[in-house]
Structure formats: structure tokens, C-alpha cells
Amino acid sequence: MTSCGTSKALDRVIVDFAADGAFKNSSTKTKEHYGIDVCAGTIRNRCLEIAAEITAMKAGEAPVEKQEAIIAQIDGSMVQTVETDPSQPDKRKKKTVSWREMRLSVAFLLGSAAKFYGGGTISGGVAAAGEGLLECVQRVGLGDKTHVYGVSDGAPWIADQFELLFGENHSFLVDLFHLLERLAEAALAFVANKDDVRKWVSKQKYRLKKFGPKGVIKTLATRLEPETIADADAPVRRCHRYLVNRPGQFNYPDAIANERPVGSGAIESGNRSVIQARLKKPGAFWLVRNAELMAGLRICRFNGDWSRYWETKMAA
């Protein structure tokens, strides 16, 4: 029995429920399916304690066979967090609630349904996000000659992390659909009304996929707003600068020719299933440390390390 009065077998049950649902609901399910009363507070405490063990657990071993190419993506998901005033005996008083970005990474082989996740961090900044990226790429089979193809939104820190971690053995592609959103903002400088925006953006999308960004950059250059106009009111200039300042990051023809993704749908789906499905339930807010622990627990499950953890724990 643990200090909370639960056995290892019961721990597995309550953490299994709590990894997917609210602690109160996990208490109800434990009673319904096993006839055991465990209060939500106990479930919360044991879940976070075990999540801490899982987070500290050595990641599963990388495959011996190293891969020729790996697809990798990073994205952020907003999680509601809370900070309490340590001077207050009642932690419910003077608490500050805010939305913070939790960064998640995914890596996979082209054509494979198997995906490995890393990160799930709020604290630690971009360096922690980079560590999560490296970890999941290693799980897929990173070798000295592996080429890593990154696809994410155009946040400069993401491209910087790919460059820092993989150097010459990487290519980075800005998610096409993020770029199209910027083009849609610029479209009204080229069309007469909003009804024609979609057609104009579709035309630019075709050009980008077929020929790359050069022609689109030239088109935008014909309608750049005067420098006297504030940047916030100059969507064409912003989009033009976005393209020009990211050379080599819009090679969609090459990605398409080699059947690689031009969008970051894999990590956006991962954000929904790994992070948001548990951490963004209605009314939920988290201490940053607890949010990261819960993310680590869910990453463990999605990466297939759940059984390995419990086999080790039961044998101890």
C-alpha cells in the first residue's frame, strides 16, 4: 500500500481513468467498475505522483535501424493555468488565471501511422521544446545521416530549433495553410470584393504548390503599401516580408514531388488528442507543473510506454 492507502493495482486503475477524464469522474468510475471508494483528491494526488515518476522515466529505446528521413513538427496549444499567492493560507484566494502555451512535438516516418510525441512543456521556453523535439525524433530512428523534414508554422523559434538540432541534415517548410491565411489578409488589395478572395487565394495556392514562392512574392511586390502606412494596416507588406524573410522555407513543389506533407496537420491533431482532450476540459485550470505532469502522462500513453512503466512498477 502507498501512503495514500492505495495498492499498485488500484493505482493503475485510478491513473488509467484520470489520464483521460476529470478526477471526480475517475472516482465515480472506480466505484462503478470496481466497487472501491477512492475520493477525487486521492486520485488527483496519486495521478500526479505517478505522472512525476513517468516523466522522469527514461524514454523508450530508439530503434537500432536508423532512418533515411523523418518528418517532424512542433506546435503550441493554449492551456489555462493558475498561480496562487504563497502568502495566503487559503490557496483559493488571490489566484491568477491565465492562458499559457504548451508546446508539443511529433515525429513519424512517411507513410507510417505510428507517431511519437515529445515536449508537453510550458516552462523551460524554446530550449525545453527543442529537447522534446529531439527526443521524439530519436524515438523514430535518428542517425548521423538521417534527414529531418520539419513542417510547422512560421514562428522563427521553431525553424531555429530545427537548425540548432539537426543542422545541415534538415529542411524546414512553413505550413502552407498558415501562409494562405496571410495571403487571405492581403487579398483585398488585388480583388474588388470579399467574394473573390477565395478565388484569388486558391490561385496563389496553385502557384505555390506548382512553382514555389517566387511568383507570389513578385505579385505581392506590385501592391506594397507605402511606408507611411502603419504595419498593422499593411497586410500586403506583412505577407511580402513574411515570404522574403524565410528563404528556403516554402519549397512546396519538392515536398509534393516526394509525397511529404505541406501542412502541420499531424501535430495539430496531436494537440487535440494528446493535450486538449484532457487539459482543456470545461472549467479546468492547472498549476503549470501539474499541467506538464499530466501532459507527460498522456505522452507516455500515446508513445506506447504505458505498459512498460507498469510492468517495471509491479515488479519492484
Domain shared by 268 and 149, yes or no:
yes
User: Is residue 250 in some structural domain?
Assistant: no
Total number of domains constituting the chain: 3
User: Is residue 112 in some structural domain?
Assistant: yes
At 57 the pLDDT is 81
At 120 the pLDDT is 95
Domain shared by 38 and 73, yes or no:
no
Domain shared by 182 and 73, yes or no:
no
Domain span including residue 223:
178-244
Domain shared by 168 and 20, yes or no:
no
At 1 the pLDDT is 43
Domain shared by 225 and 108, yes or no:
no
Domain shared by 217 and 306, yes or no:
no
User: Is residue 225 in some structural domain?
Assistant: yes
Domain shared by 153 and 267, yes or no:
yes
Domain shared by 170 and 219, yes or no:
no
Domain shared by 234 and 129, yes or no:
no
User: Is residue 211 in some structural domain?
Assistant: yes
User: Is residue 223 in some structural domain?
Assistant: yes
Q: Report pTM.
A: 0.91
Domain shared by 267 and 129, yes or no:
yes
User: Is residue 218 in some structural domain?
Assistant: yes
Per-residue pLDDT of 4-44, as tens digits, reads 567 999 999 999 999 999 999 999 999 999 999 999 999 99
Domain shared by 153 and 79, yes or no:
yes
At 89 the pLDDT is 65
Positions of the chain with pLDDT under 50: 1-3
At 3 the pLDDT is 45
User: Is residue 254 in some structural domain?
Assistant: no
Distance CA 270, CA 112 (A): 15
